[in-house]
Amino acid sequence: MKDLMDKIGFPRFIITVFLIGLILLAVFLKIPLPGLITDILVRFGMNAILVLAMVPAVQSGIGLNFNLPLGIVFGLIGALVSIEFKLAGFKGLLVSILIAVPLAAIAGYFYGKMLNKIKGQEMTVGTYIGFSVVSLMCIFWLVAPFKSPELIWAYGGNGLRVTVSLESSIGHILNNLWHFNIGKVVVPTGLLLFFALCAFIVWVYNKSKKGLSMRVAGSNEKFALSNGIDVDRERIIGTIISTVLAAIGIIVYSQAFGFLQLYNAPLYAAMPAVASILIGGASLHKAKIVHVIIGTLLFQSLLVVALPVINIISEGSMSEVIRTIISNGIILYALTRTGGEEA
């Protein structure tokens, strides 16, 4: 038992046991499982790219990227512009991404340069830079010169809507691509394939010579320097990739959700992503794609299964509470490990 726990790690052990308990309870309460599995697949695909954004950040040595909102706001801008020009379907999705990526890359470049001046404090500073960006963008959403009736309030009111429906533009476009049923389980093929594509690109980059120098820079700065690797440059590259993935991630998330959420919605967006990769087995210094997959699957399954179970056995909005406790608990656990070994 002890060996098993050491091997899979204490937090994963607890969460897996908790999840199995919840699933048994769900079966006992006669909650239809196919619906739950469908939800898990969708939520996995929705969130996985945002979690994937942590990988290059950790590998390049800037640690967990609490400044995910920086990339997210540019993803939102991309989607807004594509709606403004009445683009829909795959054209809309593609244009959203094409607009968001260069903006996020530029922002990531400057953010990376800034992080190079504050080595060791990236997480604390990043969190508050993220909060500042979100609140500054609140003003931008109010004054941005968008005209489409889809985006602005119908009667009076200033600025963009708080939530923008994507029903007539890019809503569920990836979810419904090549989707098929196994029994009553709906598999959102397009959504999962898109994540696979992103993960594959990150994986290929990792295996390349460039990716190797990035990982060396992240794991041992002195060793990297003595091998002629420009550590600062590698950190900037890691930050750029992470920010770009966050921008793409929020577009994919929004199309699956069916709405764009503006204003304060991205404020705490980094917390579940950080928690997911830590649950998957990553640490402050080590992260792999397999951690993304395991962590997102475990975390999202827990939330999906917990919701109906809790609604039956107790009243109130307990699933949100559970999410807060688990996600922040796991981050806390990782932060208090000496030397930042595996969480």
Footprint of another protein on this chain (CB under 8 A)? 66, 114, 117-121, 123-125, 127-129, 131-132, 134-136, 138-139, 142-143, 158-159, 271, 314-318, 320-322, 324-325, 328-329, 331-332, 335-336, 338
Cβ 30 to another protein shortest distance, Å: 23
Cβ 340 to another protein shortest distance, Å: 9
Cβ 222 to another protein shortest distance, Å: 11
User: Would you say 114 or 193 has its CB closer to another protein?
Assistant: 114
Cβ 336 to another protein shortest distance, Å: 4
Cβ 278 to another protein shortest distance, Å: 11
Cβ 31 to another protein shortest distance, Å: 20
Cβ 19 to another protein shortest distance, Å: 18
User: Would you say 228 or 316 has its CB closer to another protein?
Assistant: 316
SS (H, E, C) the chain: CHHHHHHHCHHHHHHHHHHHHHHHHHHHCCCCHHHHHHHHHHHHHHHHHHHHCHHHHHHHCCCCCCCHHHHHHHHHHHHHHHHHCCCCHHHHHHHHHHHHHHHHHHHHHHHHHHHHCCCCCHHHHHHHHHHHHHHHHHHHHHHCCCCCCCCECCCCCCCECCEEECCCCCCCCCCCCCCEEECCEEECHHHHHHHHHHHHHHHHHHHCHHHHHHHHHHHCHHHHHHCCCCHHHHHHHHHHHHHHHHHHHHHHHHHHHCEEECCCHHHHCHHHHHHHHHHCCCCCCCCCHHHHHHHHHHHHHHHHHHHHHHHHHCCCCHHHHHHHHHHHHHHHHHHHCHHHCCC
